[in-house]
């Protein structure tokens, strides 16, 4: 599971290279919110120093503006000369699904203020 915090950039390490069929693929990410079914598609470059071992992606949630909650994700590979529209349905048949999974988008909880009403509870003590 990928966990993303709202309004932050998160480094996500995946192992996609072993499933790739294209020499120099571009990676298309598709997130679908579990409740609203809102779809967000985007392309990210692999910034891993060792792509033969793992693929590293910097996901900037601020630019994506994902809804909080759970999303299903699918990662596709596509050729560099594919259409620049990032809708996976518009790509050529060479589009290959590399990975599917879940994403959880969360927001840092704010400490709620506490109020002192001034009422105290005293426990009475009895002496014989």
CATH number at residue 52: 2.60.40.10
**pLDDT for the residue 112:** 61
* CA 115 to the chain's CA centroid: 36
CA atoms of 16 and 75, how far apart (whole Å): 9
Domain membership flag for residue 119: no
Query: pLDDT per residue over 1-33, tens digit each?
Result: 999 999 999 999 999 999 998 888 889 999 999
Query: pLDDT per residue over 34-44, tens digit each?
Result: 999 999 999 99
Domain membership flag for residue 123: no
98 in Cβ contact with 75 (< 8 Å): yes
Domain membership flag for residue 13: yes
Does residue 80 have a pLDDT over 80?
Answer: no
How many domains does the chain divide into?
1
Range of the domain at 42: 2-106
Domain membership flag for residue 40: yes
Q: Of 38, 98, 97, 44, which Cα lies nearest the Cα of 70?
A: 38
Domain membership flag for residue 75: yes
Does this model's pTM top 0.85? My answer is: no
Domain membership flag for residue 111: no
Domain membership flag for residue 128: no
| Backbone angles phi and psi of 67, in degrees to 5 | -75, 145
β-pairing, 55-60 vs 9-14, is: antiparallel
């Amino acid at each position: 599971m990928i966990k993303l915090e709202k309004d932050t950039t998160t480094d996500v390490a995946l192992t996609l290279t072993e499933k790739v069929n294209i020499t120099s693929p571009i990676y298309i990410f598709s997130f679908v919110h579990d409740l609203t079914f809102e779809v967000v598609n985007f392309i990210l470059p692999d910034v891993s120093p060792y792509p033969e071992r793992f693929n590293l992606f910097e996901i900037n949630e601020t630019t994506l503006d994902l809804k909080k909650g759970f999303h299903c994700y699918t990662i596709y590979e596509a050729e560099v000369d594919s259409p620049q529209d990032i809708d996976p349905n518009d790509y050529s048949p060479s589009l290959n699904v590399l990975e599917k999974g879940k994403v959880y988008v969360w927001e840092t909880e704010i400490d709620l203020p506490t109020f002192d009403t001034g009422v105290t509870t005293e426990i009475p003590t009895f002496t014989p």
